[in-house]
Amino acid sequence: MEIPKLDRILLVEDSYHIRALLNMTLTVLNNYQVTPFDCGETALNNASKLNPQLVILDVMMPGMDGPTVMKKLQALPEYRDLPYFFLTSKVHSDDLAEFEQLGIHGVIAKPFEPTELANMIESLWTRFHKSRNDAYMNQFSGLQEEYLENLHTSIDLLNKHLDRLEEKKQFSSDHLDDLCILVNDLCGSGKTYGFNDISSSAQILTNFLKTIAPKSETFALSDSDSSRITALILGLITIIEKACEDSESPTRLKGSVSFKGNAR
């Protein structure tokens, strides 16, 4: 996943001189769009009008401190998943551990070198998104493993259709509908989870099944249609089994699906 470009920053700092320096440095030298406030109350009152990508909060402020402002902002849907950085001189290990428990995503230590400020912010911004991407891919891998396990059920269902076809049992319109639903699901889910071969094979079978239009609930498949469906099901089963076998090998590919993040 790509790291989004950082443009818009919400800044809350009660000290006029620090706030002015931060605002000037980030806007003049680095072309960020900074919206500065001198207290948490004012920032909260204007939060709905803003669209920041990142929030920087002074920790020690009169009235409402940084952690309290962060908690109140995170209660707003549009602010829930943003990265929050604390601006503070409290950088001892105990302080940092406390900030981490609060869910902060980075700390900018006071005093800071103005010309290095943007590099610090960009570094924290990149680390935040890489961490989110890693967490997402780990969760995706878990869902992918669950999907692979469920493919065994799909194989069993496909084999039942094969048995009915091979034993020349009546293949009703309901059976055809069930097969269409199963194969159509494999067509969509296979590609979604990174198994394009499964999706492509299922799509071929889906396309062929669309050419069969039963005129009644009980109908007779022609021998050629039955043979064609049988061959396509066997091919699909083979590809699914291969995917399951590959998943159990030590060299199983992870992150087989590429995701592209939004630019904003």
Query: Can you tell me the distance from the alpha carbon of 122 to that of 142, in angstroms, rounded to the nearest whole number?
Result: 30
Percent of the chain at pLDDT above 70? 89
Q: Where does the pLDDT of residue 4 fall: very low under 50, low under 70, confident under 90, or very high at 90 and above?
A: confident
What pLDDT, on the 0 to 100 scale, is given for residue 46? 96
pLDDT digits (tens, 9 = 90+) for 180-229: 999 999 999 999 988 999 999 999 999 999 888 665 555 677 888 889 99
pLDDT tens string 18-32: 999 999 999 998 899
Q: Where are the domains of the chain?
A: 8-112, 141-247
Q: What is the pLDDT of residue 253?
A: 42
pLDDT tops 50 at residue 263: no
What is the percentage of the chain residues whose pLDDT exceeds 90? 52
CATH second-level architecture of 141-247? Up-down Bundle (1.20)
* C-beta pairs of 129-132 under 8 Å, 24+ apart in sequence: 129/1, 129/3, 129/4, 129/261, 130/3
Q: By the 8 A CB rule, do 53 and 7 touch?
A: yes
Domain 8-112, architecture per CATH: 3-Layer(aba) Sandwich (3.40)
Instruction: Give the single-character DSSP code of 47.
Output: G
Helices (H), the chain: 16-24, 40-46, 66-74, 93-102, 117-166, 173-192, 196-209, 223-247
